[in-house]
Every structure is written in C-alpha cells, then in structure tokens.
Amino acid sequence: MAGNSFGRVFTVTSFGESHGPALGCVVDGCPPGLPLTESDLQTDVDRRRPGTSQYTSQRRESDTVRILSGVFEGRTTGTPIGLLVENEDQRSRDYEKIKDRFRPGHADYTYVQKYGFRDYRGGGRSSARETVMRVAAGAIARKYLHERVGVRIHGYLAQLGPIVLEPVDPASAYGNPFFCPDPGRLKELEAFIWNLREAGDSIGARVTVKADGVPPGWGEPVFERLDADLASAMMGINAVKGVEIGAGFKAVEQRGSQNRDEMTPQGFRSNHAGGVLGGISSGQQIVVSIALKPTSSITVPGDPIDVHGRPAGIVTTGRHDPCVGMRATPIAEAMLALVLMDHYLRHRGQCADVAATTPILPAGVP
Amino acid sequence: MAGNSFGRVFTVTSFGESHGPALGCVVDGCPPGLPLTESDLQTDVDRRRPGTSQYTSQRRESDTVRILSGVFEGRTTGTPIGLLVENEDQRSRDYEKIKDRFRPGHADYTYVQKYGFRDYRGGGRSSARETVMRVAAGAIARKYLHERVGVRIHGYLAQLGPIVLEPVDPASAYGNPFFCPDPGRLKELEAFIWNLREAGDSIGARVTVKADGVPPGWGEPVFERLDADLASAMMGINAVKGVEIGAGFKAVEQRGSQNRDEMTPQGFRSNHAGGVLGGISSGQQIVVSIALKPTSSITVPGDPIDVHGRPAGIVTTGRHDPCVGMRATPIAEAMLALVLMDHYLRHRGQCADVAATTPILPAGVP
Amino acid sequence: MAGNSFGRVFTVTSFGESHGPALGCVVDGCPPGLPLTESDLQTDVDRRRPGTSQYTSQRRESDTVRILSGVFEGRTTGTPIGLLVENEDQRSRDYEKIKDRFRPGHADYTYVQKYGFRDYRGGGRSSARETVMRVAAGAIARKYLHERVGVRIHGYLAQLGPIVLEPVDPASAYGNPFFCPDPGRLKELEAFIWNLREAGDSIGARVTVKADGVPPGWGEPVFERLDADLASAMMGINAVKGVEIGAGFKAVEQRGSQNRDEMTPQGFRSNHAGGVLGGISSGQQIVVSIALKPTSSITVPGDPIDVHGRPAGIVTTGRHDPCVGMRATPIAEAMLALVLMDHYLRHRGQCADVAATTPILPAGVP
Amino acid sequence: MAGNSFGRVFTVTSFGESHGPALGCVVDGCPPGLPLTESDLQTDVDRRRPGTSQYTSQRRESDTVRILSGVFEGRTTGTPIGLLVENEDQRSRDYEKIKDRFRPGHADYTYVQKYGFRDYRGGGRSSARETVMRVAAGAIARKYLHERVGVRIHGYLAQLGPIVLEPVDPASAYGNPFFCPDPGRLKELEAFIWNLREAGDSIGARVTVKADGVPPGWGEPVFERLDADLASAMMGINAVKGVEIGAGFKAVEQRGSQNRDEMTPQGFRSNHAGGVLGGISSGQQIVVSIALKPTSSITVPGDPIDVHGRPAGIVTTGRHDPCVGMRATPIAEAMLALVLMDHYLRHRGQCADVAATTPILPAGVP
C-alpha cells in the first residue's frame, strides 16, 4: 500500500486532490445490514466544511457526499462503499504564482523531492481538503459503533494558542465554529482570531477527543496496539505534531503511586492511562489529545526559495484558516471512530468465542 | 495480522513471553548483500539489557542473539532473518502470587478481558522484555541505513521526573546507565533514583531520538506518513503515553510566523517540523520525543482487585526498574531505525526512477 | 482488507455493483511521471466492453473511464489515481423476478448466507461487470511496464468447448470478438456459438495470457511467489476454476528429464516452467492458462429454490454471454499486468542495489 | 511483506533454509483458549517427514517441533505462537560442487539474478524443506477448525505419472508412503517408482485435498476470494504448476446445463463448483486439485551452465525424492487448513452479527 489506505479489517482507501475533479474513498469491510443514507454522512461532513463561518477559509464547497456502492435498499451490503465529493470551487489560477516556488512549512518541497514534480494547485494531495473523506468514512464507523456497541465519541478545542479551554459544556462544542466546549470563553476566542487575522498570522491549537462506552479488550499487545494505531491516526492528520493518550506528557513528572489507576470493585479510581493498558482498551474512557501547528499559509512575508533553490519572494495567497486546529475536531473524531471500528472487528475476528471469566469493572472516573 | 508485525516492506514479526522458553522475531524484506554477524546485533541488544547497573531490574539475562536464517557466508541473503534469544533467568514462581490478581497500571486486566485468561508470569507478552527483539531487528535496519545511506541515529534521556536534561554531550549518553547526555547531571540523577527506590516508588521520563542524514522524500502523503508511522512505532513501546515530532506540543502556542521553517539556499532556518513536512522527510534532522509513564510495579501498597472483581491486597514483587524510561533509549532508537528503513525501501519501490529536478537543500539548523 | 484490494505496493481497491450508480477503483503506488490520459485506459476497457458484438451480452454501456485524481498535466503524480465508470444501462427491473430466488451456479445463495441479504440486481457485486475496473487499472500497469521495462503482454482464446485453438496469428486475436488467435477457425466458432444460443445453453473456455520481456528476478521465494500471485489473480476472475503456469497439469505425466528446462549459453531449451522458477521470474516468457466455466445464466430450465429453501421455478432472464470465456482475455491480461507491476516495484524496493554478478541468459524458446 | 507471510488475520510468517541452523515460523492471530501441545503438531509434521520410507529422500531429520511462545498451561493465549525445528542432518558438503553451477529446473539461477548471490546448500530457502513449518502451522488451524467448527480435511495422491488413482478408501491414504487412496494399486506404484529410480529419473503427480463441514459464507467477493486464496496457497507449494477448484479444466468442455450445480431442498445435485460460488463457500465439499512437476534433481545427465553463463557439466547429487508429489499431500492439506482458518476469522470479524435469513442447504453430493 502506498499510504492511502487506513485500517486492517475496516479499511478506508482515499484519493483526490484539493483542486482536482473530485475527492473520494472506498470503505471496505463494513459489516452488512447497517442502515445508511447519504444524510448520515452529511451531518459529520458539514461540521468540517470550509466557508461556514467568518473565522475559517472562505472557499465555497457544498461537500455533498454521494454513496456510489455498497448500500442497497438503505442498508450496507458488506461490499465496499464508494464515496464521492465533487470539487466545485476550484480557483486554481490563484496558485499559478506558487507554481515555481516552495512555501515554507508546506509539503511543496518534500513532494518535489519525492515525486520529481507536484500538483501545486492548493497543495494538491497534501491539502487538508483530503480530510473530507476521512470524516465521511468515519461517520459510517461512528454510526455502527454507536448503534451496535453503544460507543459515544465527542471532541472539542482544548487550547488555542495561549487560551486553555476546559470542557465545561462539551455538547456546546458542536454549536460554535471553534468547537469550544466553554461558551463563556467564545468572545475571547473571537477577539484572539480577529487580532491574528489583522496581523496576517496564524496560531497553533490543541484538540481533545474522547470515546465512552468502549468495552475492555479491543487492541493488540505489541505493534498494532490500540494506542499505537490511535497515534498513527492522529499524527496522520495534517498539521498534527504531537499526540497524547491519557496523561500524556504529564506522565513524565508523575510518580508511579500517582499515575497508576487503582482498580476497585466500584471501578477505576483515575484515568491517567486514557483508557488503554498494554495496548488494549480497559473499559475506561478513551482520551486522546493532539497538538496542531499554526497554518504556514500566512501573509506575514517570508523569503522562500524557488524550485531551482534560488531565493524567491513570496506572499501566500489562496483562502486559508488562521488556525487549522479550529476545524480539526470533526477530523480527529472521525479518525478515533475509524481506529475503534477496526479494532472492534479485529477483536471479534480473533476472540469472538472467548467466554468471559472476569466481571467487567465499571468505567469509574472519566 | 494480529498485531505482532511491524512495517510494510521491511517487516519485523515478533513472538515470545517474558518467562517462556525464548523470544524471537523474523525480519523480512532486508536487502541482500549486507554484511551481518551476531555481534552486530549484540552491541545494541546489550545496551538495553537488564541487570547491567544497580539502577535497573536485577534480572540476569545474557540476551545472546542467535541468527537462525537469512545470512550466508556473512551476508544477508534477502530471505527472512530469524532471530532468537533464549530466556535464562525465569524465576516465574515469583509470579504465582499475582496469578489471581490484577495489578493496577498493568495489562493484567485487559489481557483477561480480551483473551479470557493470561500468562501471568512476568506480564507474559505485555512485558517490556519483548523489546529485546525490536532492538535486535532495529540493529539490522540501523546498520543498513548507516552503511548504505549515511543515516546516523542517536538518542538520550531528555527528562527524568522533574530533571530536564540538555544534550550537552549526546555521545556520552551511551556511557552511563541513564542514557544521560549531560555528564554534569549524573550525580543528580543517581540521587533521585536512590531516593525513589527507598520510597518504593517510580517516576516518568522523556526520551528524545534523532536521525541525521535522512534524505528528503521518504514517507507518504496521507495515512502511512513518515510522522504517522513514527507515532505508531513510538506509542507502541511499553509505557509510552505521548509522542512529539519537532516542536510537538510547543506548536500549540506558536504563531505561524514563528513555527514555519524558512528555507534559504543555505538550508532551513529552523526545525520546528522535526524533519517531516506533509508526511515526507525534508532532509532536516528527524526529531522525535516520547513520554514514558512511571513503572506501575512499585512497592507502595495499593488495593487492587482479584480476577473475580473482589478486593485483594497486593504487593508487587518481581524485579523492576524504578524508571522504565531509563532503558527506553535503545528501544526508541531501534523503532526509529525500523520506520526509516521501511520508508526507504517503500520510497525506492515507488520512486526509484524519479529524476531529480530540484537541488537538495542543506539540512540547516538541526 | 475485506477482499477488495489487490497488490502490495502497486494496489487496486475497487468498488461498485452491476446496477449501482457507478463502478470505480483507486490505483495506489503508481510511480510518478508516467504520461497518462483517459484514452490510454479506454483502449483496453473498450476491448472488454459488452454489446460490441452479437455474440456477447447486449447490455449497452459506453464504459467511459474518468480519471478523478493522481494525474496532473498529463502525468501521474505518485498519489492515488481514482477511476470512475458510471453505469448507464441499468435495467434492474429485469431482476425483480429473481429477488427471492437463488439461481444455480451464481453467488446468490452464498451472498445471502454471508451477508444476510443481497443486492440482487444483476448479481450486484458478484457480476463480471466489476472487471471493468480491473481492466482500467491494468492498463496503467501495462503502459508502465511496456514503456519503462519493455514488457509486452498478450492473450487469446485457447479453447472454446471442444474447439482447441492454436496461436497461429496471436495479433489477430484483438480483431475479432472471440479473441481467437487463428483467423481460419472463426467460422467454426461462430457456428458453435449460434447453435449454443439456439439451445439456450452456454459453454466453457480456456484463455492463455503471456508476457515477454520480463527480466529475471521478479517474485518472492515462499508465499507471495510470482506464480502464487498469478494464481490468485487469475482464480479471482469470475468463472475461473483452474489456473496453469507453463506445462501446468501436463507436468503430472512428464518425467524430470523431459520437464526440466535445460539452460545453455544460448538460452533455455524449453519453457515447461512458464517463466517462473522457485517463485521468481526466470527471464523466459511468462505463460498462464485459465479454465472458465460456462455461464450459469442460461434459458435451459432448472428447478431452483427460493430464499426460504423451497422449490421455485426459474427462467434466467437478463442479458448474458453464452461464453464468458470469450470476453475474459482482456481481463486476464489486466490481472497479469497488475501482478507483474506489483512484483516489479516490490523487487525494486528490496533489491534495487543488487549488483549483477551473472549474465542474463537469452530467453530461449518461448 | 517480502513474501514470507501468509494470511490476513490468521497469519504464518516463516523463516529458515534447508541447511541453516533451524526452520521456524510465527503463527499470529490464533484464537485464545485452544488446547495445544507439541504432539498435536508432531503428528502432521511426521507425515511429511523425509527418510520415512525407501521411496523418498533419505535425509534423516527428526523434525521435532518446539513451541516457544503463545501457549500457556496447555492452551493458546492469543499471542503469537513461535515454532522451531532444528536442522540435524546438514550434509552441506554435498553441495560444494553445485556452488558455481545452476541446476536446471531449480531456483539457483533466479535467486542469483534476484539477490546477487545464493545460499547454495540444498537449495537454501527454495528447498521444500521449508514446508515443514507450513505443516506445523497448518496443524494448529486444522485442530481449531475441527474442534470448534467441525471442518474435516483430507487429501490423497490422485495421479502419479500415468497412474490415475480413485479415492476408493481415502482413509487408507495415511497408511502408506504414497498417500495412495486405493490399496489395490500400491504394488503398481511401487513398481513404477523402482523403475524410475533405476532410470535416474523422476515423475509428476496430482494431489487432491478436500474439506467437509465448511459452512456457507466464508470468503470474499472480488480479490481475496476463497478460491483465489486457495489458488495462491497451492501454487505457492514447491513444484506446483497447476491448481483446480471443483471441475477445474474439465469445465472448459462443459455446457452450462451440465456444469451448474442445481440446488434443491435436499441439497446440491452436483459439485462442479468445488464448494465455492462467487468466491464464497457454498456449504458443499471444498475440492482442490494440484499438479506437481517432476523433481528436477535427477541423475540423468544434463548440460547446465555455471554462474558465469558458461557450459558446465553437472550431475545432481544430494538426497532427493523421485516424485515430490508423493510427499505433497500433508503440505496441501496444511495450506487448505490455513486458508480456511483465515477466512473463518475474517468472516467472523466482518459478519459475526449477521442474522440468518435463509436455511442452510444440505451439502448434497460431495
């Protein structure tokens, strides 16, 4: 596989460029019999859509997802589900001027070194526009996990630059363009972004995603552990530079007596492990946090080089987000859903006939 | 694959339990013609060996690696390389007393929920003893990368609990049991660990690994990106709870004008990206940092439950490290080597006939 | 992978049903820089198209292939190539009458047992219509292999029922609807098929495909051998029940002194091996033969059962070929191209730096 | 994967050369809780062992299989099962004389072209000795399938050169060195082999393997079909040049009215499909037949070339079977078991929650 497939049993194979005719993916391995319509996917896809607020890229795309196969009479058939989103607003002339230049912080230079040339229109395959298919595919996984297993996934913006946000009201994150879980901090975020825009600059962010209702036993012990696959899923999202499970880097300064999550008949007393022990889900809440770097496409002048390695003035144009992290929540949720779905089916494949010998502990503290 | 294979083209499939007869692995896909002897592997394996200092587990294992196949007349043949390490010091009676109990922070409970029962001797497959095979396999990748491509990998302990270490003299890290890169801080580390031992407690750590000499172009754009595979490789190491590439979580508070690494004809001006742009190596130094949780096996009393979910007193016995992070450096280096080797061969498979069109920039600042 | 991907490094992931909105596939791992247009694919696709002669299914499909990604300014970019064919002539009402019945020799019964229900329109995913994407994907592999490596692939109908055909003029096979390589036998084939049509019956066939110019060294020694992958590729084509490499089943009655292909400085003296020794190409012509069963969709009355397991009269309707083998040649050629391309890239990945030590023998007798 | 792994969910990764220190494999993905001892494996392994009759190679190997991991207190744990067989009778000096020559019909030439050099001792990795691990791994699959699902696998020699054998008494095949299923033909076989030995020549063979009790629904629709995976498994056995499912090449001359297996409430009326329809098991007996070429290692003089491409006299030495097909039955049975086991787990992973809507037909005629 040349890197465009994800998952082992429940797999997503994606294709498409930012300014090509269409983006699409093939979701293979979905269990048959799941009720599924295009609107089931559209809800999640609309949440990551550009142009929906004044704080994000103004590219206009309806992002209408078509199901091309794998669904018959409203139910998944077990055969591959082909999904397609046509690109509509492809102002690729905007990009003529970066054709012969490498933008700093982008994949322009690395693509040319790898492939010999590149589709320079909007970043081509390296554009975050590709994530629309991850969200569409993730919506299938999420629906199955919710309806058949009772898994509930949610996420929110946990930090934007210096502004740290607490999940005061996690459900409210879906009602604002920042995915901010604390309605009281919205004004602060708005002001911060406006100032940034005026400065022609951008900012990093932290996003947290969680899954409740994951039973113990999903994952593998050594290489394709649940946490390793989560790390891969998250680090593979554009602009992500760090991934934490549970306590994450806080564990560096913790003592064992503080970090280990004591088990009692009433459940776990804490969740520093983030729901994964030895690569396998523990039945606690799965907690994953990611760091997103600031958009490199800013109007602050830089002094980049051209494709011949010579200095070349550049001003980034195109339509960009001042904080890509602001739109990452639905993408990270989708990736979490894909990993969990894959591991659910893998676990079922190997261990479906395991007879329970030990009672399942209550999840305990989230 | 049930999770015991790593890599796509250069693959490692491992087996073995902490207290079973032996640990082993199969390294498949190694290019033919590489000079290789058992002593090439032993050097790296010895660096992670237990019982080599008073600060780590006192289990006595010679960890002698045997090459069972894939090498003929001192060179790799291109066929799979079978590696074996026999377990010698298997004091498994020590573990009879935890047979019916779940230790907090360990995989005891999750294994039983997944598989119905568990090999309780020393954690069975969940033991960090399994990493001996990763180091042995990684040594092959490392040797190839060094001799054929000029890639140099090194790592060190970057933080132990509250003690932050700077790479004042990285080469010195291999000369002390802490993998501390600053000889002036050794006394401080020793004192810290002794106090911890007396308290029967343990501590977390941060380890950093780096690769110099990686040419631009290795990696993939979307799912199996170089950074995603690095994240998977590192998060799959026992006790790891966080992974950063380059600036990592520091990027959350950075602005785009600060974070993006400007390119000049003299090379990159900074390396916040950690050597990876858009999932593909940039030719800069690859920089990865990991957070390791404190050992859960401590003598501070806890109040765990037994396999019936009932309260059960426990005192951890066995032979343990007060800080697993102290021994993680060679393991993280090995995983870095495995990821790079796999991506080198993958890149060569797809892009061997790409003709360079753009000069390669100097790496610039590390 | 749930069985809809083919290949390890050069991969094809396909989707689509006979009477759904569209068929498509994702070709991943294609080397960058290959000149490619939609018309390059259309030539091969048109050769397997239904409705092009009176001897085959009268379904009318233009089978127009669209390239949705992975090609920029006329060259492959190295990123996944999305291909799409919209279904046009979907007379799915024809199939209402088989909705509750299992046709003998079809996958109706097995799909229902596997998935719980089925898309009964034209066989759904089990229809040979799916092979249009294999041909489109194969055309990319074929073009690369031809232009970059000098591999030439051709095939022909070797037997139709009792009529055995010799490759008197292999090139002529592309000029008639039977893919018959002996122009002198065309009348005989036509008469045979007309008689069969009148009888409402169908017939089996044998197809042979060959590749010239494959250098020695492609393949693997044990499981994913070149011959094993060819066998998988061919047996995976609808209606195929047997696969032979080289002498195939004739080898059962051969002696070693007759079967082994002697090597001389002038080349191999024979080619009973069909170009594969020990799972690896020998530099001789690759020769693969397949057996295709007769179409099960015939108007000869049968007495099938319904979905409740009860007897149910059936007359097959829909539009069918009296001999599916007649149209299998381009499909088998495509699968041969896909296997060779994948192994070329795999070989290059692992062995690109092998220095030749032994001269390459002339291919010798084909 | 460089070709030494087999299976997707239940996988075998093998290593080892004919005259290296040992052969081994890792069986990954085995469901936990299966009672397993070394003697369970030894029974099958002993059936393929060399030196057990005067008709086969006189190499003396005890072929004692050790289980190194994955089994605890007599049951599989769900973690990888490491298996090892040490080589004992390595008379590798025998092979010094072929060091610089290519034997016709062997992989000597192709290995050198692929890898640049070769382990010439007894064919190295290309030796059929490697199949000992397939048999050991297959024994685990076979045991699980038999005990948990009720699948029964058996095979026999169906043809040796011109002698066609009918399965008069299939169970008797395990009681003679030919795996002949017709005790009345044993004398004839013995005489044939003795004559062949005197002539210093060898002969081809056909072997048939069958599985009863496979429920409908195992397999995949398009690429990794049950029949495609069977074809790959069988063609990957040393010396195999042809594979048939059910009617196989007989289908070429059959009409649809004859070939299609009519379904009735009492079961299928025939089994030309060999138990697979549309890539998925039908519940009928699985029937696979393979053609094995005659051993190329004969004492009939040939005139081979040396590693420089120059003529070089050769007389094959070493210890060989006059008919490799004679010992292929347990190997083909093992591969059948591995494919079925993998597809069972894959099916369970994707479709474990499918509710039966249609009664399962009786298997009908075998």
Contacts of B247 in chain A (CB under 8 A): 241, 293
Is there a contact between B280 and A223 if contact means CB atoms under 8 Å apart? Answer: no
pLDDT band at B362 (very low <50, low <70, confident <90, very high): confident
Minimal Cα–Cα distance from B340 to chain C, Å? 13
Q: Which residues contact C194 (CB under 8 A, 6 or more apart)?
A: none
- Select the residue of A3, A256, A302 nearest B220 (Cβ to Cβ): A3
Alpha helices in B165-287, H assignment, sequence order: 186-199, 226-235, 256-259
Cβ-based contacts under 8 A for chains B and C: 59
Contacts of A113 in chain C (CB under 8 A): none
Is there a contact between C304 and D262 if contact means CB atoms under 8 Å apart? Answer: yes
Minimal Cα–Cα distance from D159 to chain B, Å? 33
pTM to 2 decimals?
A: 0.96
Predicted confidence at residue B301, as pLDDT, reads 74
Q: Given CB atoms, is A122 within the 8 Å cutoff of chain C?
A: no
Least confidently predicted of B209-218, B303-312, C174-183: B303-312
In three-state secondary structure terms, C278 is coil
Predicted confidence at residue A314, as pLDDT, reads 61
Name all chains with 3 or more CB-CB pairs below 8 Å to chain B.
A, C, D
End-to-end CA distance of chain A: 37
Least confidently predicted of B116-120, C73-77, C299-303: C299-303
Is there a contact between C72 and A26 if contact means CB atoms under 8 Å apart? Answer: no
Measured between CA atoms, the residue of chain C closest to residue A10 is: C1
Is there a contact between D348 and A351 if contact means CB atoms under 8 Å apart? Answer: no
Cβ-based contacts under 8 A for chains B and D: 179
Paired sense of beta strands B276-277 and B152-160, if any: unpaired
- Rounded to whole angstroms, what are the CA distances from C263 to B239, C297, D107? 57, 48, 12
* Phi (first) and psi of residue A359, to 5 degrees: -65, 150
Could you please report the per-residue DSSP string of D245-264? ETTGGGGGG-BHHHHS--EE
Is there a contact between C33 and A5 if contact means CB atoms under 8 Å apart? Answer: no
- Select the residue of A1, A13, A119 nearest C72 (Cβ to Cβ): A119
pLDDT at C18 over 80: yes
- Which residue of C149, C345, C358 is the best one to mutate when testing the B interface, meaning the one whose CB has the most B CBs within 10 A? C345
- Select the residue of D107, D201, D235 nearest C243 (Cβ to Cβ): D235
Least confidently predicted of A14-18, A55-59, B229-233, C351-355: A55-59
Minimal Cα–Cα distance from B50 to chain A, Å? 20
Contacts of A309 in chain B (CB under 8 A): 265, 358-359, 361
- Rounded to whole angstroms, what are the CA distances from B243 to A232, A284, B151, B237, D247? 10, 21, 22, 11, 56
Percent of chain C beyond pLDDT 70? 93
- Least Cα distance to C133 among C331, C342, C340, C333 occurs for C331
Q: Are C196 and D257 in contact (CB under 8 A)?
A: no
pLDDT at C94 over 70: no
* Rounded Cα–Cα distance for residues D171 and D309 (Å): 49
- Which residue of C11, C17, C30 is the best one to mutate when testing the A interface, meaning the one whose CB has the most A CBs within 10 A? C17
Is there a contact between C235 and D225 if contact means CB atoms under 8 Å apart? Answer: yes
Measured between CA atoms, the residue of chain C closest to residue D111 is: C217
Minimal Cα–Cα distance from B79 to chain A, Å? 21
- Which residue of B353, B357, B358 is the best one to mutate when testing the C interface, meaning the one whose CB has the most C CBs within 10 A? B353
Q: Are B95 and B318 in contact (CB under 8 A)?
A: yes
pLDDT at D317 over 90: no
pLDDT tens-digit map of D21-65: 999 999 999 999 999 999 999 999 998 776 666 666 667 778 899
Is there a contact between B4 and D119 if contact means CB atoms under 8 Å apart? Answer: no
* Phi (first) and psi of residue D14, to 5 degrees: -115, 160
- Least Cα distance to A141 among A42, A34, A37 occurs for A34
pLDDT tens-digit map of B141-162: 999 999 999 999 999 999 999 9
Measured between CA atoms, the residue of chain B closest to residue D75 is: B117
Is there a contact between B242 and A225 if contact means CB atoms under 8 Å apart? Answer: no
ipTM: 0.96
Predicted confidence at residue D58, as pLDDT, reads 64
End-to-end CA distance of chain D: 37
- Which residue of C103, C120, C202, C259 is the best one to mutate when testing the D interface, meaning the one whose CB has the most D CBs within 10 A? C259
pLDDT at D164 over 60: yes
Measured between CA atoms, the residue of chain D closest to residue A28 is: D350
> Exposed, middle or buried, B53 (CB in 10 Å: 0-12/13-18/19+)?
middle
Percent of chain D beyond pLDDT 90? 73
- Least Cα distance to B13 among C152, D12, C198, C63 occurs for D12
Q: Given CB atoms, is B126 within the 8 Å cutoff of chain D?
A: no
Contacts of C27 in chain B (CB under 8 A): none
- Rounded to whole angstroms, what are the CA distances from B365 to B246, B261, C99? 12, 10, 68
Token reading at C300 = 């000869």
Minimal Cα–Cα distance from B9 to chain C, Å? 8
CB atoms under 10 Å from CB of D99, counted, come to 12
Measured between CA atoms, the residue of chain C closest to residue A78 is: C115
Predicted confidence at residue B98, as pLDDT, reads 81
- Select the residue of D33, D78, D348 nearest A348 (Cβ to Cβ): D348
Is there a contact between A353 and D148 if contact means CB atoms under 8 Å apart? Answer: yes
Q: Are B136 and B37 in contact (CB under 8 A)?
A: no
- Select the residue of B4, B10, B117 nearest D28 (Cβ to Cβ): B4
Minimal Cα–Cα distance from B69 to chain D, Å? 5
Q: What mean pLDDT is reported for chain D?
A: 91
* Rounded Cα–Cα distance for residues D70 and A237 (Å): 36
pLDDT 10s digit of each residue in chain A, 366 long?
Answer: 579 999 999 999 999 999 999 999 999 999 999 999 999 999 999 987 766 666 666 677 788 999 999 999 999 999 999 999 998 876 666 677 788 888 889 999 999 999 999 999 888 999 989 999 999 999 999 999 999 999 999 999 999 999 999 999 999 999 999 999 999 999 999 999 999 989 999 999 999 999 999 999 999 999 999 999 999 999 999 999 999 999 999 999 999 999 999 998 889 999 999 999 999 999 999 999 999 999 988 877 777 788 888 888 765 555 567 898 999 999 999 999 999 999 999 999 999 999 877 888 888 777
Predicted confidence at residue D94, as pLDDT, reads 67
Is there a contact between D22 and B114 if contact means CB atoms under 8 Å apart? Answer: no
Q: Given CB atoms, is A187 within the 8 Å cutoff of chain B?
A: no
- Which residue of B250, B277, B348 is the best one to mutate when testing the A interface, meaning the one whose CB has the most A CBs within 10 A? B277
pLDDT tens-digit map of B318-346: 556 789 899 999 999 999 999 999 999 99
- Which residue of A69, A90, A129, A134 is the best one to mutate when testing the C interface, meaning the one whose CB has the most C CBs within 10 A? A69
Interface of C with B in 46-105 (CB under 8 A): 78-79
Name all chains with 3 or more CB-CB pairs below 8 Å to chain A.
B, C, D
Is there a contact between A351 and D78 if contact means CB atoms under 8 Å apart? Answer: yes
pLDDT tens-digit map of D225-254: 999 999 999 999 999 999 999 999 999 999
The mean per-residue pLDDT over the stretch B32-40 comes to: 97
- Least Cα distance to C20 among A31, A12, A42, A81 occurs for A81
Interface of B with C in 207-266 (CB under 8 A): 221
pLDDT at C153 over 70: yes
pLDDT tens-digit map of B236-252: 999 999 999 999 999 99
Contacts of B81 in chain D (CB under 8 A): 15
Q: Which residues partner with B314 through β-bridges?
A: B302
Minimal Cα–Cα distance from B43 to chain D, Å? 22
* Rounded Cα–Cα distance for residues A59 and C196 (Å): 60
Q: Given CB atoms, is A267 within the 8 Å cutoff of chain D?
A: no
Could you give the angle at the alpha carbon of C226 between the alpha carbons of D249 and B35, nearest 5°?
155
CB atoms under 10 Å from CB of C353, counted, come to 15
Least confidently predicted of B37-46, B51-60, C250-259, D22-31: B51-60
Does the CA dihedral C146-C147-C148-C150 come out positive or negative? positive
